[in-house]
């Protein structure tokens, strides 16, 4: 299977738990699938979903820290009701390795339409390398530092998350699914990246 492989780096990243609205804001250790499609949408300049391209990815960072952040709470009208200061966890020295089924998508990553982010507006991301490679399909590969749809066969943190959001001022989640975060090596069927010596789980189309 030929894919576009991109290496994307960021000094900081933050992937907010959706159930935490105020107060302490922890971060997932791996970006949700909606974050990945949000990044691809920013690169292309239009909405990209799992119906358009399949993706696989893994994500690593060199540690985490905490910061104080001022947030603005909005009324349904869009007006600011009040502001608040929260404690937010963030990851630093981050690397996202992204596999994309669309071979032409490299042109969008090399010249993104909008600024690429890995979380907040301050979590700027930079595409360090883009290339075309071939993945080998296998019934038994080792995956790590990623997420996959939950089916009960692989242990990990289980979270229900949207696969994307609507493109409107008050964004609404869509395609909600249950996923499992893989932070320790697990074996599953998927694809193998011979150069990086690692397994890749290519996500299916989500409806």
In the chain the domains, ranked by start, together with CATH numbers, are: 2-136+194-199 (3.30.70.2660)
Q: Which helix (H) or strand (E) holds 100?
A: strand 80-100
pLDDT of 4? 98
Q: Within the chain, where are the H helices? A: 33-44, 106-110
Contact 138, 189 (CB under 8 A): yes
Contact 55, 71 (CB under 8 A): no
Report the chain (207 residues): mean pLDDT per 10 consecutive residues.
97 86 83 95 95 97 91 70 83 98 96 95 95 96 96 90 80 86 92 97 92
Residues, the chain: 207
Instruction: Say how far apart CA 40 and CA 18 lie, in whole Å.
Output: 21
Query: Would you state the structure tokens that stand for residue 123, as one six-digit string?
Result: 């979590």
Contact 166, 174 (CB under 8 A): yes
Residue with tokens 């949207």: 162
pLDDT of 17? 85
pLDDT of 80? 66
pLDDT of 41? 95
pLDDT of 20? 64
DSSP classification of residue 118? S
């Amino acid at each position: 299977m030929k894919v576009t492989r991109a290496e994307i780096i960021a000094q900081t990243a933050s992937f907010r738990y959706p159930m935490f609205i105020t107060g302490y804001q922890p971060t997932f250790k791996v970006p949700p699938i909606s974050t990945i499609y949000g990044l691809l949408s920013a690169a292309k300049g239009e909405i990209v979903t799992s119906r358009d391209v399949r993706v696989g990815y893994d994500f690593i960072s060199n540690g985490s820290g905490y910061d104080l952040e001022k947030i603005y709470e909005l009324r349904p009208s869009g007006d600011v009701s009040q502001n608040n200061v929260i404690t937010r966890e963030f990851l630093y020295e981050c690397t996202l390795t992204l596999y994309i089924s669309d071979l032409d998508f490299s042109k969008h990553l090399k010249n993104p339409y909008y600024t690429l982010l890995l979380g907040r507006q301050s979590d700027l991301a930079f595409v360090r390398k883009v290339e075309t490679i071939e993945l080998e399909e296998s019934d038994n590969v080792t995956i790590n530092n990623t997420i996959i749809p939950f089916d009960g066969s692989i242990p990990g943190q289980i979270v229900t998350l949207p696969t994307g959001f609507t493109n409107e001022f008050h964004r609404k989640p869509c395609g909600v699914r249950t996923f499992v975060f893989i932070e320790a090596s697990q074996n599953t069927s998927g694809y193998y990246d011979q150069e990086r010596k690692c397994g890749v789980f290519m996500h299916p189309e989500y409806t």
